[in-house]
Amino acid sequence: MGLRGARERRVTTGGVELCVAELGDPARPTVVLVHGYPDSKEVWSEVAARLADRHGCHVVLYDVRGHGGSTAPRPLRGGFTLEKLTDDFLAVVDAVSPGRPVHLVGHDWGSVQSWEFVTAARAEGRIASFTSVSGPSLDHLGHWLKRRAARPTPRRLAQLLGQAARSWYVTALRVPGLPERVWHGPVGRRWPAFLARAGKVPPGDYPTRSVPSDGAHGAWLYRDNVRSRTRSPRADAHAHAPVQLVVPLRDAYLSPSLYDDLERWVPDLTRRTVDTGHWAPRTRPDLLATWIADFVAVHEKGPATSGVATAETPRPAPRTGADRYRGRFAGHLVLVTGAGSGIGRATALAFAGAGARVIAVDRDAEAAVRTARTAREVGAQDAWSETVDVADRSAMEALAVKVAAEHGVPDVLVNNAGVGLSGRFLDTTPEEWRRVLDVNLWGVIHGCRLFGAQMADRGQGGHIVNIASAAAYLPSRSLPAYSTTKAAVLMLSECLRAELAGAGIGVSAVCPGVIRTHITSTTRFAGAGPEEQRQRQAQATRMYRLRNYPPEKVADAVLRAVVRNRAVVPVTPEARAARLLSRLAPGFLRTAARIGSRPSPRR
C-alpha cells in the first residue's frame, strides 16, 4: 500500500528537521505512529493506510531524528536522549494536532520512546491513549532487572538469562565504530533479505534505502539511553493515559516476561497477544490496525468520534470449554461456513466469545443472521452474515471478493458446511452422489482455494480448519458416499498442511463422532421412500439425542486446533478410539464394517 497520497511537511525542533507524513482527514481522531530501530516511518505504511482508509483515522507518521528523511543532530553523541526525543514528539503533535490529544502507537524503539512520552509529566494531556508493540519502558525494565537481581529465584534467574540471550545486540551496538561499519557494509546490504527470511516480512515499500544510515545513527539510541536509564530508573514512571500492550509471542528479541509487572505502572492496561514475530507492523497489519482503531474508538472523546466504530461492552458469553481462550482471538477475522446451526454455529460463537470478528456463512439467510446477532451479544468485536451455497463456485468466488474488500483477509477459515447421506452404494443415485460431493468436498475445496490463496498472498499466515468426520477413517457399508467425502476432506487437509506450511498457514482436520446436531433431520437415505425417509430420520435423531454430545465441545476442539496448530483432531471418545484402531488394527475395522446395517451419519 505504501504512503501514496500522504501529505508531507517538515517540523523543526532542537536543531533537527523531522520529516512528517499525514494520511486521512485532520478532523478525525489523530493517531501518531512512531517507528523503531533500524526502521523509518515506512515500517508503518501498511497499518497507516488501513487506519486512514478503513477506520477513518487521521494518521501521522514521522521519521525519528537521524532516520529516513529527518536530519541527524550534530554532534551525534547526546543527540538521541529520551528527553530530546520527547521534545521531537511534542513538536510534531503541536504541528499536526494543536490543542487536541493524540493516540500514540509505537513499535520497537518507537515504543521505548513512547513509554517516555506517556510517563513524562510534560506530555500529560497530549496523549489520549498509547498502544505499545514490542518495546518496553527503560524505566520499567530497570526496575524489572533490579527486582530479579535482588531476589534471584530459579524462575527469575531463567527470565534474566533468557532476556540476556535475546539482547546480545545491545552490547554490540555500544562498541565504538562497530555499528557504523557493519551497517554501511554487509548488514545494510543484506538487511532486506534477512527480514524476508528470518522476520517473515513480505516484500513492499519497506525497508527503504536509508537503512545503512538509519542503523548507524540509531545506534546512539542505545548508547545515549540504555545503560543510564536502566541503572537509575525513574520511580515515578506511571502512565498518564490508557495503554494497550501488544505482545508478539514469537518475538526473537523481547521476552513476554518483561511485562509481568506492568500493572503497577499502568492503571488502565489492556493486554493482547499475537502469534507472530518482532515486525508485527509488517507481518500482521490488518490485526494491528483493527486493534489500534478499536482502542482509539474506546478512548476518543468528543464529536470527532462520529463515524468511527465504537467498541461496545460485550454481554457475558455462555460458559464453555472455549472460555480459556477469552481474548485470544481478539481482532482476528474468522469465517465459518454452515454457521446457521450445529457445529458451525457453536464454532462461530466460540470464536466470538474469544473476541474475534466473525463472518457467519450459511445458505439459510435467517439462520446466518441469527448466528451473527448472537455472536455480537457474546463478545465478538463485530459479526456479519452472508448467504451462500458453498457448492456454488461462482457464489463462493463472489463471497471471497466481497469479504476481502469489506473486511480484509480472514485469519481463520472454518469449512464446516456439510450434508448427510446414508444408504448402500448400489442404492445411491448419481444425483445423490453429485450433491454430497458438491457440498462436503467441493465446498471445502472452494473455501480452501479462494481464502487460502488470499492468506498466502497476504503473507501474514493464518489457519484453515476443515470439519471432516470420524467416518473419514471408519469404514461403513451404510455410509459409502458420506465417508468418501469426509475421507477426501481429511486427505486434502493433510496435503494442504504440507503445502501451506511455508506460508505460515496451519491446516487442521477436525473429526467429530456422533454429535447432537440437526444434520439427522436433513440427511437423505438412499433407496428409501418418503415414509421410510421420515422414519429413519426420526430414528437417527433419537440416537443422536441419546448420545447427547454437544456441538460446543467440537467448537472447543476447533479453537484448540488453531491455537496448537494440530493436524488431525478426533472429537468424542468413539472418534478417538476409531482413529487409534484405524492406525493399529485397520483389519478389525474392516471386519466390523460388515456387521450391522442401520445407517447414520457421524458428525
State pLDDT tens for residues 247-274: 998 899 999 889 988 999 999 999 988 8
Domain shared by 270 and 385, yes or no? no
CATH of the domain at 388: 3.40.50.720
- The backbone torsions φ and ψ at residue 465, rounded to the nearest 5 degrees and listed phi first, read -115, 125
Instruction: Tell whether the model's pLDDT for residue 77 goes beyond 50.
Output: yes
**Would residue 313 count as lying in a domain?**
no
**Would residue 12 count as lying in a domain?**
yes
* Residue 510: HSE in the Cβ half-sphere, 13 Å Cα cutoff: 33
Q: Where are the alpha helices (DSSP H) in 167-305?
A: 168-173, 178-183, 186-197, 211-231, 280-283, 285-299
What is residue 286's predicted lDDT score, i.e. its pLDDT? 86
Higher pLDDT, 525 or 170: 170
**Among the listed residues 402, 361, 406, the one whose alpha carbon sits nearest the alpha carbon of residue 385:** 361
**Would residue 552 count as lying in a domain?**
yes
Range 102-123 average pLDDT: 97
What is residue 519's predicted lDDT score, i.e. its pLDDT? 60
Mean pLDDT score of the chain: 88
Terminal CA-to-CA distance of the chain, rounded, Å? 43
- The grid coordinates of residue 37 equal 530501530
Per DSSP, the residues of 418-473 read: ---EES-GGG--HHHHHHHIIIIIIHHHHHHHHHHHHHHHHTS-EEEEEE--GGGS
Would you say 246 and 288 are in contact if contact means Cβ atoms under 8 Å apart? yes
Q: How many whole angstroms separate alpha carbon 57 and alpha carbon 309? A: 11
| Rg for the chain, CA atoms, rounded | 27
The 10 Å Cβ neighbour count of residue 573 is: 10
Instruction: Tell whether the model's pLDDT for residue 301 goes beyond 80.
Output: no
Q: Report angle CA 274, 280, 285 to the nearest 5 degrees.
A: 95
Q: What angle, 0 to 180 degrees and rounded to 10, lies between the N-to-C axes of helices 211-231 and 138-150?
A: 50
Helix (H) or strand (E) holding 484: helix 480-500
What is residue 596's predicted lDDT score, i.e. its pLDDT? 55
- Which of the four pLDDT bands, split at 50, 70 and 90, describes residue 318? very low
- Which of the four pLDDT bands, split at 50, 70 and 90, describes residue 504? confident
Q: How many whole angstroms separate alpha carbon 172 and alpha carbon 178? A: 7
What is residue 479's predicted lDDT score, i.e. its pLDDT? 84
Q: What is the pTM of this model?
A: 0.72
**Would residue 129 count as lying in a domain?**
yes
What single DSSP character describes residue 123?
G
Domain shared by 333 and 214, yes or no? no
Q: Which of 276, 305, 334 is the last residue of a domain?
A: 305
| Residues recognised as catalytic | 482
CA distances for 9 relative to 64, 95, 106, 415, angstroms: 14, 10, 20, 48
- Which of the four pLDDT bands, split at 50, 70 and 90, describes residue 523? low
Domain shared by 363 and 499, yes or no? yes
Domain shared by 368 and 259, yes or no? no
Domain shared by 152 and 233, yes or no? yes
Domain shared by 362 and 255, yes or no? no
Domain shared by 126 and 206, yes or no? yes
Residue carrying the nine cell digits 554501511? 184
What is residue 533's predicted lDDT score, i.e. its pLDDT? 57
Grouping H, G, I as helix, E, B as strand and the rest as coil, residue 323 is: helix
Range 406-415 average pLDDT: 93
What is residue 423's predicted lDDT score, i.e. its pLDDT? 78
- What confidence tens digit (pLDDT) does each residue in 172-231 have? 998 999 999 999 999 999 999 999 888 888 877 899 999 999 999 999 999 999 999 999
Domain shared by 571 and 493, yes or no? yes
- How many independent structural domains does the chain possess? 2
The 10 Å Cβ neighbour count of residue 456 is: 18
- The grid coordinates of residue 484 equal 468418501
What is residue 599's predicted lDDT score, i.e. its pLDDT? 46
Q: What angle, 0 to 180 degrees and rounded to 10, lies between the N-to-C axes of helices 109-119 and 138-150?
A: 90
**Would residue 598 count as lying in a domain?**
no
**Would residue 138 count as lying in a domain?**
yes
**Lowest-confidence range among 7-16, 322-331, 339-348, 478-487?**
322-331
Per DSSP, the residues of 361-403 read: EESSHHHHHHHHHHHHHTT-SEEEEEE--TT-HHHHHHHHHHH
Domain shared by 75 and 174, yes or no? yes
**Among the listed residues 65, 34, 66, the one whose alpha carbon sits nearest the alpha carbon of residue 47:** 34
Domain shared by 269 and 346, yes or no? no
CATH of the domain at 42: 3.40.50.1820
What single DSSP character describes residue 241?
S
Domain shared by 270 and 343, yes or no? no
Residue 107 structural domain? 7-305
**Would residue 337 count as lying in a domain?**
yes
Q: Which of 305, 335, 356 is the last residue of a domain?
A: 305
**Among the listed residues 183, 19, 218, 260, the one whose alpha carbon sits nearest the alpha carbon of residue 113:** 218
Domain shared by 374 and 286, yes or no? no
**Lowest-confidence range among 145-154, 267-276, 284-293, 589-598?**
589-598
Sign of CA dihedral 326, 329, 330, 333: negative
Helix (H) or strand (E) holding 561: helix 551-564
**Would residue 311 count as lying in a domain?**
no
Determine how β-strand 7-13 pairs with β-strand 16-23: antiparallel
